[in-house]
Amino acid sequence: MEASVEQLVYVREDAYTVARMSADGVPDFVAAGRALGEVQPGETLRLFGEWSTHPRHGRRFAVSACERVTPSSVRAIRIYLGSGLIRGIGPRLAYAIVDHFGEATLKVIDAEPERLTEVVNIGPQRRSQIVQAWLEQKAIAALMVTLQGLGVSPLLAAKIYQVFGPDADEVLAADPYQLIGRVRGIAFRVADKIALQSGVPERSPQRVKAALLDRLEAAGSRDGHCFVPVAALVRETAELIEQDQELVRPMVDALVGERRLVVEAAPDRPGQAVAYAKHVHAREVALTEQLTRLARARSTLPLRAFREDPELHDDQRAAVNMALTSTLSLLTGGPGCGKSHTVKAIATTVRAAGGTVTLTAPTGKAAKRLSELTGLPAMTVHRMLAQQPDPDPETLFDERPAQADLIVVDEASMLDLHLATRLTAAVPSGSHLLLIGDSDQLPSIGPGDVLADLLRVTEIPRVQLTHVFRQAGGSGIIDAAHRIRAGRSPAVGGGFWFEELDDPEQVARRVAHLAMVAIPRKQQVEPDQVQVLCPMRRGETGATALGRLIQDQLNPTADGKAEHWSGATVFRVGDRVMPIRNNYDKGVFNGETATVTAVVQEERMIEIRTDDGESVRYGFDELDDLTHSYAISVHRSQGSEYPFVVAPIVAESGGIMLRRKLLYTLVTRAKAWVVLVGQREALELAVHRVGHRRNTGLARRLALSLQG
């Protein structure tokens, strides 16, 4: 039968979809099945399947296959136009257009668009907007058919069209590997599927080169590596494309000749060669040059004799002296060791001497926390690099914050190779750059391990704060953190709790209950004061599943509440969300938190309000840049601090993410309480597993450069 999609009820990551639908003679029914994956409200479908009875949800239509068709009845056309699929047409305007043109509506929009001005409230500008949106929707629909024929998710059609526009069909036909890295959601496997279906030979140089570059990119995005040993790269590429290594090896040389790959001797493995992606190698070399320049520069810091703070501990005094006398220096230490107080002492001394100071951190949350702990203004590294003047004349910043006499970067373990290169390039010679961090925390999400690499270079001055102050020493969280970093099991009490459960499904339910009910009730706080952190994104206790469980309880679907499904994710008014990519045009940065304030189908966008009060709009085609923040990965929590933290600890998928740095980072995100729920053996695994070291050449390059 033919039916119109009224509302998506549930979408699973494997595309299993439940939808409310309507058809002539069956005005309201539920359909379900994986074949429905990627449909949108308003679309008309030809459904194939049979009626069945679900044990919990009753009668529904089990869909075995479906086809998109052009709506033909007045009712179906009205649903289609009023759904927001065509930008610029909302429910009211859809009713007016269909009321005027009836069953001929879509033919008029397609063949006689000038007649749209016959409808009240449609002028030339609105007509042009509708026609443009209609043409885009037609092109995307055609791409969907093409992709379905190639066995690829049709949801990618809109993303491909967004990047390539009218040339999308030509790109698919000529070189599908162009999609990799340019269209979100398309890695090698998807592009390769399209290419092979389109007739690209399995042994073509084009395919082998794309696979080589994909393995390099995966090593950076998955494991944070800057390079991969050539032998391993060849082996992994051959396995990926199921070809012999003899076919792959010559393509390494070909990519080097095309200046897309750099091969050089391994930093610490004599006789071995390693491969870098060209842009990663260029940044590692550039970062080495910038750090060498800063370290060798003559200080321009205007300092007179300074008075030592008698309240400082000996190692804090050493840190102050280091920061004031070295143009490049490192300050490390665990929780409760007085890093923030030391920063305040350094900044106060520089200001007293007439110098300028800029305090920064990689994320907005980390910058805000730095400001709260020091009592001094702070900004994100991104904002500093944009060199925007601060609106408050009483702050420490001048109009060019990257030109300050002293630049302090907190949470430096979060600096990846790319951001560190941009940062150091912006700092003038003679300014002092102080990097502060905890080397026992997780490294950056992006490639590189900058702080750890710099700590391996003995020529760079550094101070490690080790004294735990009395007011911090009684904290169960800080005690647990120091025990974890030493490879010992944490002790329960004083704000650190462990609740043992074995079954992952029970763990997930318990974590959700603690976050939504138990802790808010006991502490008399709102649920948004409790943050769920997850070692993994997938699985029953992963951030995706737990986030959906909590969302459905705290902000369920309701009549009159606007919502929009993007793949297997639904955004509702009232949802807590987080940008996961920096967007300088919108003024939002990775790690900020916000609330969805509007879902406007007619304009195909949602509006969010950040916790700083800024309103920002995201188009439906930009929603990959947002994630829900009901439950987030430990990596996403870096630089942030929460009053209460709850986390599952289970060895799902072999517990591949469970390691000491992750557990240490998780525990140190909490101010008052951290509650771990899960398996005792998983906790012990996390405490004792050290994890791999990232492949980088920065430490060796910098040591040689500073010695030269």
Q: From the annotation, which residues make up the binding site for ATP?
A: 336-340
SS3 459: coil
* Amino acid (one-letter) located at 204: S
SS3 665: helix
Closest CA to 19 of 486, 83, 457, 10: 10
Name the phi and psi angles at 463, rounded to 5: -135, 135
Query: HSE-up of 645 (CA within 13 Å, CB side)?
Result: 30
Judge whether 664 and 484 are in contact, CB under 8 Å. Answer: yes
The residue assigned the tokens 């270079």 is: 457
Radius of gyration of the chain (CA): 28
Vertex 95: Cα angle to 90 and 99 (nearest 5) = 150
Measured distance CA(238)–CA(587) in Å, rounded: 43
Judge whether 517 and 532 are in contact, CB under 8 Å. Answer: no
Length of the chain: 708
Judge whether 597 and 605 are in contact, CB under 8 Å. Answer: no
In the DSSP assignment, the letter for residue 698 is H
Neighbours of 188 (CB within 10 A): 24
Measured distance CA(229)–CA(590) in Å, rounded: 31
Query: HSE-up of 417 (CA within 13 Å, CB side)?
Result: 27
In the DSSP assignment, the letter for residue 446 is S
Judge whether 691 and 452 are in contact, CB under 8 Å. Answer: no
Judge whether 204 and 197 are in contact, CB under 8 Å. Answer: no
Closest CA to 511 of 551, 546, 471: 546
* Amino acid (one-letter) located at 613: G
Vertex 596: Cα angle to 4 and 527 (nearest 5) = 115
- Judged on CB neighbours under 10 Å (0-12, 13-18, 19+), 707 is exposed
Q: Where are the alpha helices (DSSP H) in 150-204?
A: 156-164, 168-174, 188-197
Binding residues are: 336-340
483: left (phi over 0), alpha (psi -120 to 50) or beta: alpha
Closest CA to 315 of 291, 334, 300: 334
Closest CA to 453 of 396, 503, 401, 415: 415
Q: Where are the alpha helices (DSSP H) in 326-455?
A: 339-352, 364-374, 381-386, 417-426, 450-455
The residue assigned the tokens 């698919």 is: 172
Distances (CA, A) of 112 to 96, 131, 140: 17, 10, 21
Distances (CA, A) of 17 to 63, 98, 182, 212: 10, 29, 28, 36
Closest CA to 22 of 73, 56, 96: 73
Measured distance CA(141)–CA(134) in Å, rounded: 10
Judge whether 168 and 142 are in contact, CB under 8 Å. Answer: no
